[in-house]
Amino acid sequence: MSDSFKAFNFHPLIVRAIEDSGFTKPTPIQVKAIPLVRDGHDLLAAAQTGTGKTAAFVLPLLQDIAENPTKYQKKSARVLILTPTRELAAQVLETIDQLGAHMNIRSAVVFGGVGINPQKAAIAKGLDFLVATPGRLLDLMSQKMADLSQTHTLILDEADRMLDMGFLPDLKRIVKALPQDRQTLLFSATFSLEIRKLAGDFLKEPRSVEIARNQDAASVHQTLYRVPKSEKHTALRDLIVDNGLDQVLVFTRTKYGADKLCRQLTKDGLKARAIHGDKSQAARTTALKEFKNHELPILVATDIAARGLDIEKLPQVVNYELPQQAEDYVHRIGRTGRAGESGQAFSLVSSEELDRLKAIEKFIKKPLRLTDFPGMDYSKENEPQQEPPKKKAIKRASQKRRPAKNSRRSAPRKSGKQQI
């Protein structure tokens, strides 16, 4: 494995940008992928967000542009990068602009939720890099404002998430508009059967690169607390306040849950914002910017909205609810503990989520120890164990005597206590 970027013999302007960015040592995905991309191979790569995969394809493509400058075609782009979410698209563009800072690179990003006219203007004169979400790109293509016939390279970033989000028909339409003689790079968190089939359809004799999928979890200190569902909000508040957490990414399973939690935290006097698909692009961009700049201490996100978020040196994440899919647990905690840094992940686990916890343990092949949350009273949590015999007694009592309307709830409890 190379210990520095010097082994790649990049153009001096790219080397300068790498140094400006503070990168000193290539990551495993960069070491494996960069030579293959430079040699013109199609690539099937399994790597999670935060492993340096964006630079793994941007750097060799910048080198290709440095060696063979783009002959710009109107409404066309030399390189097309497709992403599942607006946030990921914006971050990919940020990396391109950062690493191509000294090369006069033409780049643009197009996605929904914002005005389309500025995006048309950005594409009109031709681009080196076009980063897009599938839906907005198809809108531009239907208006004949995006021409893919001269595109040399296609990158499918977070391809597994694009399939999860139902983008396969859109991807097929876009690929049909591309030249047959192109280079295609597909990046995914895992090599699922669906991804392998997609690669078979879109890639030609690809080389494969795989980075251990639970590698991120190894550098993260994981703490799992046993917390009743009704006490989760209180536990989260105490966790943040008592530990002085000033930059924490909190995961919920639903958009409604994210909004509700933000309202509760705001009532507690804590500053929190939510990002999910129902938020406007302006609101999502503002929240993410404030969070990155340490102006917003708490960002609450759903799995889809957070997919691809790359927040440098994020110290903590909290699983307010365990994810439905065990694999998403690794994606979540992988937001912290990146690039050799240590990170911390807290999970609040209710009794209803124990099956999900078992699935996570099976997936990461490691037991996770549940501990009691400091200062929490668990006495009430044990009371439901006495409920089954009570319910039978209540049923018999109700069959013998129908209680008055106002005492329907209290009468059975009273009879239950008398039996005890």
Q: What is the pLDDT of residues 310-351, one digit of tens each?
A: 677 788 999 999 998 888 888 888 778 665 567 899 999 999
* pLDDT of amino acid 393: 44
Q: Which of 137-141, 267-271, 303-307, 406-410 has the lowest mean pLDDT?
A: 406-410
> What is the mean predicted confidence (pLDDT) over 143-162?
94
Distance CA 359, CA 38 (A): 39
Report the pLDDT averaged over residues 191-198.
90
Q: Region 362-373: what's the mean pLDDT?
A: 91
From residue 10, give the alpha-carbon distance in Å to each of 6, 97, 130, 184, 218: 7, 17, 22, 21, 32
Range with lowest mean pLDDT among 90-99, 141-150, 405-414: 405-414
pLDDT value for 339: 54
Q: How far apart are CA 128 and CA 220, in angstroms?
A: 37
Q: What is the pLDDT of residue 51?
A: 78
Instruction: Kindly report the average pLDDT of the chain as a whole number.
Output: 85
The confidence score (pLDDT) of residue 284 equals 84
pLDDT tier for residue 218 given thresholds of 50, 70 and 90: low
CATH 3.40.50.300 fits 5-210, yes or no: yes
Instruction: Quote the pLDDT of residue 213.
Output: 54
Query: Would you say residue 239 has pLDDT above 70?
Result: yes
pLDDT for the residue numbered 390: 47
Q: 179 in helix, strand or coil?
A: coil
Q: What is the pLDDT of residue 381?
A: 60
Residues of the chain with CATH 3.40.50.300: 5-210, 215-376
- Report the top-level CATH class of 215-376: alpha beta
pTM: 0.69
Q: Which position has the higher pLDDT, 177 or 71?
A: 177
Residue 92 has pLDDT above 60, yes or no: yes
Q: What is the C-alpha separation between 157 and 33, in angstroms, rounded? A: 14
Place 277 in a pLDDT band, splitting at 50, 70 and 90. Answer: confident
Grade residue 376 by pLDDT with cuts at 50, 70 and 90.
Answer: confident
Over residues 213-230, mean pLDDT: 78
pLDDT of residue 340: 56
Residue 379 pLDDT class (50, 70, 90 cuts): confident
Contact 216, 330 (CB under 8 A): yes
Lowest model confidence (mean pLDDT) among 49-53, 252-256, 363-367, 378-382: 378-382
Task: Measure CA 368 to chain center.
Answer: 22
